[in-house]
């Protein structure tokens, strides 16, 4: 029961991150928004590291941190922030939830293993779900939605790369992985800031949205995030919840449950 409650709490928080990205992406620009986001996360983890007495050894593991920071933070954060300038919260959340699906595909190629039936079923459901969602967004918003949709999917793909890289990466404890990759993300995003400057006056609402953003993501809760993404977009931004969003979300969630093995575990418990 505690695990389930924790799962939904995390999903609610991370689903809310798309709400805050949507609010801040246009006025701040993707690069400034993400630079502030990862810098705040890095500084927070630095303070925590002092209390935990953990040595980072950033230079000796710099290649590892740069790779992890690129694919797990800098690149996906930037791509989703770019997409948030056009797409609504629910669409962003659903596209993000394809990360475990991409992770399964990349993992199969990486380890040269055959995909199980569950994973194949999951891929089919996920692709249909994304197609339903993407097709409607392209019709509803127009051609300007196509590139943001593609960039969001690349962002989700990037999370899949990061997950598989982490499984085969140098042995670094989880806290230092998070800490080091955040500082690496700061370095990676910083050169882009002059090319994507702040566009509007920074208000207290925008500042609040930036500091409300979480800095991490986990594939284990990704399939619940779209539900909260749709809810937060509807409650706080007045976004319309169309039938396409509901159908697309259901299909992607089912697909992700199969890919992550959640569906099989659930069915096996029901049969016992």
Q: pLDDT tens digits, residue range 128-142?
A: 887 777 666 555 666
Which pairs with CB-CB distance under 8 Å and at least 24 residues apart come from 240-245?
Answer: 241/90, 242/136, 242/140, 244/132, 244/133, 244/135, 244/136, 245/90, 245/91, 245/94, 245/133, 245/136
**What pLDDT shows up at residue 48?**
92
Q: How confident is the model at residue 267 (pLDDT cuts 50, 70, 90)?
A: low
Q: pLDDT tens digits, residue range 145-157?
A: 789 989 999 999 9
Q: What mean pLDDT is predicted for residues 238-250?
A: 76
- What distances in angstroms separate CA 18 from CA 64, 115, 162, one per listed residue? 27, 31, 20
Q: At residue 71, does pLDDT exceed 90?
A: yes
- Rounded Cα gap, residues 162 and 68, in angstroms: 6
Q: What mean pLDDT is predicted for residues 31-52?
A: 93
Q: pLDDT tens digits, residue range 185-214?
A: 999 999 999 998 887 777 777 777 666 664
Residue extents of the structural domains in the chain = 2-271
pTM (two decimals): 0.81
Q: Residue 68 has which token pair? A: 């992890």
């Amino acid at each position: 029961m505690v695990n389930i409650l924790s799962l939904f709490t995390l999903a609610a928080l991370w689903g809310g991150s798309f709400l805050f990205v949507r609010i801040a992406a246009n006025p701040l620009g993707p690069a400034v928004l993400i630079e502030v986001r990862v810098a705040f996360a890095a500084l927070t983890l630095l303070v925590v590291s002092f209390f935990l007495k953990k040595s980072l050894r950033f230079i000796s593991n710099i290649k590892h941190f740069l790779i992890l920071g690129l694919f797990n933070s800098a690149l996906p954060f930037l791509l989703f922030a770019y997409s948030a300038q056009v797409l609504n919260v629910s669409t962003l959340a659903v596209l993000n939830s394809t990360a475990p699906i991409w992770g399964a595909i990349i993992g199969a190629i990486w380890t040269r293993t055959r995909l199980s039936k569950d994973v194949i079923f999951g891929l089919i459901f996920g692709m249909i779900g994304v197609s339903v969602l993407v097709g409607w967004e392209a019709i509803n918003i127009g051609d300007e939605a196509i590139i943001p949709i593609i960039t969001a999917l690349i962002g989700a793909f990037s999370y899949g790369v990061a997950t598989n890289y982490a499984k085969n990466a140098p042995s670094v404890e989880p806290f230092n992985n998070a800490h080091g990759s955040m500082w690496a993300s700061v370095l990676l995003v910083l050169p882009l800031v002059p090319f994507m400057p702040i566009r509007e006056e920074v208000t207290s609402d925008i500042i609040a949205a930036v500091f409300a953003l979480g800095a991490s993501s986990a594939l284990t809760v990704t399939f619940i995030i779209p539900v909260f993404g749709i809810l937060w977009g509807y409650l706080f931004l007045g976004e319309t919840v169309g039938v396409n969003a509901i159908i697309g979300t259901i299909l992607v969630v089912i697909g992700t449950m199969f890919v992550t093995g959640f569906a099989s575990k659930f069915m096996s418990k029901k049969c016992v």
